[in-house]
Every structure is written in C-alpha cells, then in structure tokens.
C-alpha cells in the first residue's frame, strides 16, 4: 500500500485536517452525556426549568458545532480521496502506456481495465472512510471508557472488559476477510474478461449462434463470483450480531450495577443515564468501525492489485552492448548493393511469454535503404513476429536486430520508434476527426502533408465522400467506416510521419486488387525513399518486392525475388499455385497478377533483376 499512499503526498493538509475535525466533533459528542446527566440530576431533580432550558441550548449548540466540524471533515476527506484516486489513475494509465507488449499479453487487458476502474474506486472509498473514521471511532470508544471512569470507577470496569472483546471480534473478522476479498476481485477479473470478449466478438457469437453457450459461460463465472461474495459477506456479517451481543450484555450489566450503586447512594440517576449513553456511543461507533474495516479491507486488497501493476517494470530492458557495428555482409545474399544496410536480422530467435518453443528462429537477412521486402507464409508462420521485432515491440531471445548498424536494444525507445511507421493487422482509429487521427503520425504536420499521405494511401475518395472532409468525425474504433476505409486511413496515418522504415503488417487485406496495386505503386514513388516491409498472404502483394522472405513454421524457408522463389522454393510455389490457378477458376487472381506486373517499371517486370541481387536462398 506504500505505492498507493504515495499519491496522498499532495494532500497532506487535507489528510491531517479531516481526522482532526472528526476528533473535534467526537469531543463535543463525548460532552453531551455529561450535559444530559446535569439536566436529569440538577434541572429535573431540582425542578429548575430555566436550568433545563439553558442546558438544552448548550446541547443544541454542541450538536450544531459538531455538525459543522463533521461537514468540514467530510470536505477535506473527499478532496484527499478523490485527488489521490485521480493521481493514481493518471499514474496507472501512464504506466500501462509504458508496458511492453509482453507484459500486456501476460497481465491481460481486461485485468488492467478492472484495476484502473473498480479497484481504484474501492481504494478511493476506503481512503475516504479511513480519513473520517480511523481516529474518530477509536477516539470515541476509548474516550467513552475514560469518561465512564470520571463518572464511576467500578461501573467503568465493564467498559474495560467489553472493549477488548469487541476489538478481538473486529480485527479477527478483518484478518480472515482480507485474503477473501482479494479472491473476490480476481473473480471479478474473470467476469470482466468474459464480458469484454462477448462485446468485442458479438458479431462472431451471433454468426455462429453461440448466444446461449456464452450466456451459460457468463452465468457460471458470475455464479462463482456471487458465491465468493456471499461467503466473504457472511463472515463480515458476523461482526454486527457478535458486537451487538457483547454491547447488550455489557449494557445489562451496566444498568444492573448502576441500579445497585444508585440505591446505595454512590452515583446519581443522571450518571447512570450518562454511562448507558457512553455504552450506546460505543455501539454506534463500533458499527461504523465495522463498515470502515469492510471498506478498508476491500481497499487494501484492491490497492495491492493496483500496486502489483505499478510494480511491473515499464518497457523493455536496455543494457549496454559493445557489438553494435554492422557485421560483414558477405555472408548475406544481397551484400553487394550500394545503398547502406538499413535493417539487419542476425540469427534471430524469439519466443513469447510462457511459450514452449520459439515463434521464429534462425532469421537472418539485410534490408537496404529504399528496398521493399515482402514477407509471406502460412498462418502462424511468424510473419508478424518478425516485423514486431523491428520497432522492439518484443525482444529477441537470441541474436540481434539492428537499424543503421545499431542494435535496437541500444536505442532510446522514442528515437527508435520515431524512425518507424507501423500499420498493424487490425486497423484501429480513435474517436475524433480524420485530421486528428492522421496527426497521430506527426502532430505538427500541415494539411498539405496530410493530403499527400492520404493520396499515397489511396484514401482520397474517403475524404471526398465525407461532408466535412478532413473534419469528419470518426466513431470509436472507426466503426462508422468500412474495413477498407479504415485500412487506408491507418496507412495514411503512418505515411504522415514520413518514416525511414514503413511496416505494413497485412494492412491491405480488405482492399480490392486494383486499389492494392495502386497503393504499392504509390509507395514506390515516395520521395523520402523508405525501407518498406510488406507482410501479406497474397503473392500479388509481395511479388514485386526487391526480395521476399518466405516463412514456414517460424523458420526462413526461402529468400529471393518472386521469379527466383518460383524456381527454387517449394513453399512459395505452393502458396503461389493456390492463388493463381490455370484456366478460368480464378480470374480475379489473374487480374491481380496483371495489375502487379507493370511493364513501365523494370523492377516489376517478370524475369527482370535490376537490383544486382545474388541467387535466391531456399531451405527445404
């Protein structure tokens, strides 16, 4: 909880004043039974109406002053609790933004959402109650006992026995319930995961008519959460009846003892009423203390869960490396080019968290500035894994990935990712205008630069079709756009940055063949000459690349131009044959092939080899 309480540092004044004003209110409350005793013994006993009226005015004044103190304490407590929760949310969100993909995969996005919302709300409620009651309740409990000694020592010993018994009950319940509340919050995580998956996959659920099955799964998880909550609730519920029994027994003893001592003349009737009032005050405060302990117990459990996230190390580790120079390129197939090497993979292996085997292994190649590198392979072959290593979304487990001859692990993360434009498999846009979304690439980009990127991404028709043009509002996740429109706008967003390295991770899958061909042609004509990585399952999307990497089960099955791989690589031949059949079975594929072969561009002419590349490499 130290990490959580750290966020109260800016609210030290409020954290001190809130309990102090509550103690001041409690002081006035402890005086009231003595005023009542005086009214009974002096005013009523002596038939002095003026004294009764005067003391009633005093009692009302004490109540009003106590109310003012209570409201002031509530203000300071609320200000501290809300301010602390606000700061904690900011820190939590900033911390999550700094987590690596591996950490987010390990923790789970649903868990992060629960801890940022429900858990922090519980912490806020716990802090609020704690500041108001953690001094007031014990102060009144022990203050009532001390005041009882000022009234009658022998009767006050009943308080001495009752209070420790009550403390044992209260703290015993707290010790048992804290770990149980943590289990309840973990159950809430599971329900949150189920809800999130159902909401994001609602179309798939309905398409496969799985509504009843998903409802059943949800009910099962919800029932388990309900049972856990009822179990811990029953334990917490023991507190009130047990405390009531102890208090009522103590009150009976107090009345009996008081009656005997009044009869013998040791104390007055008013003092007995005062003692009973103090016992009643203890009962009320213990009920408040019980609620406080339940809330604080939940807050502690939730606070530990939030602290667990804050304890996760941000980003990826950065260590000192001396071997950052580019290795001799003679061992690579394309080492004789004039342009300097931009990206190098040197015998790279990578495994995901808790994975039993490498996702990719033994990946080695060099990419020069201005080259287009195609990456193709079957589903699960490791295509996205390879390109995710370039911006260091994940770290290699063996080997090295270098940009401009420097290991990506030696770069400052902002500098590294400033060189790279990434378009993910899933096109994600954010709520706001088209202009605001495009400026994610470069917030200072003028409209002319935005429009150039839009034209290169073949998205002009998207802008022109909108009534407000660049100022058209996009719904959350781009839900008011088609899949192809979202993909083109996300490509434009990456191009706005004018990156040195552009990664297109299967980002044209929703585009028709003609638009895909136009997109590839416009990317070749970019004046800043980026190194482009195109991940695709379409051979037509990669066949005009300077060279193609063919992946199979995480390994490099082939490397070369389209023409070379058709002659030497069985995996590539199989993929190509599945997409371009003979006869009229796949006329769309033929058209796509025709679009891709641009006779005006020698680099796109079948059989040409203008790059000076060596022979293709194929491993079977």
DSSP string, 86-143: HHHHHHHHHHHHHS-HHHHHHH-HHHHHHIIIIIHHHHHHHHHHHHHHTTHHHHHHHH
C-alpha distances (whole Å) from 610 to each of 90, 481, 529, 545, 546 are 54, 40, 17, 12, 9
Predicted confidence at residue 425, as pLDDT, reads 81
Residue bearing the bigger pLDDT, 62 or 298: 62
C-alpha distances (whole Å) from 273 to each of 53, 94, 169, 374 are 19, 58, 27, 90
Q: Give residue 401's pLDDT band: very low, low, confident or very high (50, 70, 90).
A: very high
In percent, the amount of the chain with pLDDT more than 90 equals 23
pLDDT value at 165 more than 80: yes
Reported in sequence order, the residue ranges of 369-461 that DSSP labels E, i.e. its strands, are 372-377, 398-403, 406-407, 420-423, 432-433
CA 617 to chain centre: 44
Predicted confidence at residue 614, as pLDDT, reads 42
Residue bearing the bigger pLDDT, 612 or 223: 223
**How much is the average pLDDT of 317-325?**
50
Predicted confidence at residue 339, as pLDDT, reads 62
Predicted confidence at residue 533, as pLDDT, reads 94
Return mean pLDDT, the chain: 82
The pLDDT tens digits of the residues spanning 42-56 come to 888 778 888 889 989
pLDDT value at 502 more than 50: yes
Residue bearing the bigger pLDDT, 391 or 106: 391
**How much is the average pLDDT of 438-445?**
88
The pLDDT tens digits of the residues spanning 70-128 come to 999 999 999 999 999 999 999 999 888 888 787 887 887 878 888 888 889 989 998 99
Residue bearing the bigger pLDDT, 450 or 509: 450
Predicted confidence at residue 233, as pLDDT, reads 83
> Comparing 209-218, 357-366, 460-469, 508-517, which segment has the lowest mean pLDDT?
508-517
**What H or E segment, with its residue span, contains residue 555?**
strand 555-560
Predicted confidence at residue 364, as pLDDT, reads 92
Q: Give residue 610's pLDDT band: very low, low, confident or very high (50, 70, 90).
A: very low
Q: Give residue 318's pLDDT band: very low, low, confident or very high (50, 70, 90).
A: low
Q: What SS3 state is found at 52?
A: helix
Predicted confidence at residue 600, as pLDDT, reads 38
CA 591 to chain centre: 46
Q: What is the value of pTM for the model shown?
A: 0.66
pLDDT value at 320 more than 70: no
pLDDT value at 191 more than 80: yes
Predicted confidence at residue 316, as pLDDT, reads 66
Q: Give residue 1's pLDDT band: very low, low, confident or very high (50, 70, 90).
A: low
**How much is the average pLDDT of 170-188?**
79
Predicted confidence at residue 315, as pLDDT, reads 63
pLDDT value at 613 more than 60: no
Bridge partners, 346 (sequence order): 400
- Written as six digits, the tokens of 321 are 């490396």
**What H or E segment, with its residue span, contains residue 474?**
strand 473-474
Helix spans in 152-210 (H) = 153-200, 202-207
**How much is the average pLDDT of 200-220?**
89
Predicted confidence at residue 319, as pLDDT, reads 53
In percent, the amount of the chain with pLDDT more than 70 equals 89
Task: Count Cα neighbours of 577 within 13 Å in the Cβ-side half-sphere.
Answer: 9
**How much is the average pLDDT of 350-368?**
86
Reported in sequence order, the residue ranges of 336-469 that DSSP labels E, i.e. its strands, are 341-350, 360-368, 372-377, 398-403, 406-407, 420-423, 432-433
Q: Give residue 609's pLDDT band: very low, low, confident or very high (50, 70, 90).
A: very low
Predicted confidence at residue 29, as pLDDT, reads 87
Q: Give residue 294's pLDDT band: very low, low, confident or very high (50, 70, 90).
A: confident
pLDDT value at 510 more than 90: no
pLDDT value at 307 more than 80: yes
Q: Give residue 535's pLDDT band: very low, low, confident or very high (50, 70, 90).
A: very high
For residues 413 and 112, what is the distance between their CA atoms, to the nearest angstrom? 23
Q: With contact defined as beta carbons under 8 Å apart, do 100 and 61 qualify?
A: no
Sequence-ordered list of residues with C-beta below 8 angstroms from that of 357, at least 6 positions apart, any chain: 351, 554
For residues 119 and 125, what is the distance between their CA atoms, to the nearest angstrom? 10
Q: What SS3 state is found at 402?
A: strand
Task: Give 498-544 as a DSSP string.
Answer: --SEEEEESTTTTS-HHHHHHHHHHHHT-TT--EEEEE-S-HHHHTT
> Comparing 244-258, 367-381, 491-505, which segment has the lowest mean pLDDT?
244-258
User: CA 96, 101, 106, 111 torsion: positive or negative?
Assistant: positive
Predicted confidence at residue 582, as pLDDT, reads 44
**How much is the average pLDDT of 446-454?**
91
């Amino acid at each position: 909880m130290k990490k959580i309480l750290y966020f109260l540092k800016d609210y030290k004044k409020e954290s001190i004043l809130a309990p102090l004003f509550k103690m001041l209110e409690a002081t006035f409350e402890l005086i009231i039974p003595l005023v009542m005793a005086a009214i009974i013994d002096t005013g009523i006993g002596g038939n002095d109406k003026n004294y009764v009226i005067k003391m009633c005015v005093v009692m009302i004044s004490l109540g009003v002053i106590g109310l003012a103190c209570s409201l002031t304490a509530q203000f300071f407590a609320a200000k501290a609790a809300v301010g602390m929760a606000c700061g904690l949310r900011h820190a939590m969100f900033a911390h999550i933004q700094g987590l690596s993909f591996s950490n987010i995969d390990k923790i789970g996005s649903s868990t992060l959402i629960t801890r940022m919302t429900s858990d922090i709300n519980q912490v806020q409620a716990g802090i609020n109650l704690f500041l108001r009651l953690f001094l007031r309740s014990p102060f009144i409990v022990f203050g009532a006992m001390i005041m009882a000694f000022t009234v009658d020592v022998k009767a006050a010993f009943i308080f001495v026995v009752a209070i420790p018994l009550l403390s044992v009950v209260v703290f015993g319940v707290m010790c048992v319930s804290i770990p149980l509340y943590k289990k309840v919050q973990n159950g809430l995580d599971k329900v949150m995961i189920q809800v999130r998956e159902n909401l994001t996959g609602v179309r798939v659920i309905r398409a496969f008519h799985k509504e009843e099955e998903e409802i059943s799964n949800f009910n099962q998880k919800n029932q388990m959460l309900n049972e856990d909550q009822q179990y811990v609730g029953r334990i917490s519920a023991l507190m009130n009846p047990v405390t009531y029994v102890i208090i009522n027994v103590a009150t009976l003893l107090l009345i009996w003892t008081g009656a005997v001592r009044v009869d013998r003349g040791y104390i007055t009737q008013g003092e007995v009423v005062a003692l009973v009032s103090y016992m009643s005050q203890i009962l009320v405060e213990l009920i408040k203390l019980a609620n406080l302990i339940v809330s604080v117990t939940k807050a502690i459990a939730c606070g530990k869960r939030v602290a667990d996230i804050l304890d996760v190390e941000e980003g990826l580790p950065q260590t000192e490396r001396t071997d950052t120079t580019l290795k001799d390129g003679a061992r690579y197939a394309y080492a004789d080019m004039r342009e300097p090497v931009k990206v190098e993979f040197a015998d790279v292996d990578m495994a995901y968290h808790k994975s039993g085997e490498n996702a990719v292994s033994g990946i080695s190649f060099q990419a020069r500035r201005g080259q287009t590198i195609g990456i193709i392979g079957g589903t699960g072959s490791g295509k996205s894994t390879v390109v995710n290593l370039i911006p260091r979304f994940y770290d290699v487990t063996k080997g090295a990935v270098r940009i401009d001859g420097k290991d990506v692990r030696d770069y400052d993360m902002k500098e590294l990712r400033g060189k790279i434009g990434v378009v993910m498999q899933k096109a994600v846009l954010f709520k706001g205008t088209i202009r605001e979304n495009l400026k994610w690439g470069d917030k200072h980009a003028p409209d002319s630069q935005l429009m150039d990127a839009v034209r290169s991404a073949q998205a002009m028709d998207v802008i022109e079709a909108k009534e407000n043009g660049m100022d058209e509002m996009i719904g959350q996740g781009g839900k008011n756009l088609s899949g192809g429109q979202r993909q083109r706008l996300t490509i434009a967003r990456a191009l706005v940055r004018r990156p040195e390295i552009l990664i297109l991770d299967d980002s044209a899958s929703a585009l028709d063949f003609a638009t895909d061909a136009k997109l590839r042609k416009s990317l070749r004509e970019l004046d800043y000459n980026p190194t482009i990585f195109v991940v695709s399952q379409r051979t037509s999307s990669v066949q005009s690349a300077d060279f193609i990497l063919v992946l199979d089960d995480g390994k490099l099955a082939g490397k070369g131009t389209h023409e070379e791989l058709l002659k030497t690589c069985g995996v590539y031949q199989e993929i190509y044959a599945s997409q371009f059949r003979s006869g009229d079975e796949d006329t769309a594929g033929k058209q796509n092939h025709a679009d891709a072969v641009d006779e005006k561009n020698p680099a796109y002419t079948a059989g040409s080899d203008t790059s000076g590349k060596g022979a293709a490499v194929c491993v079977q």
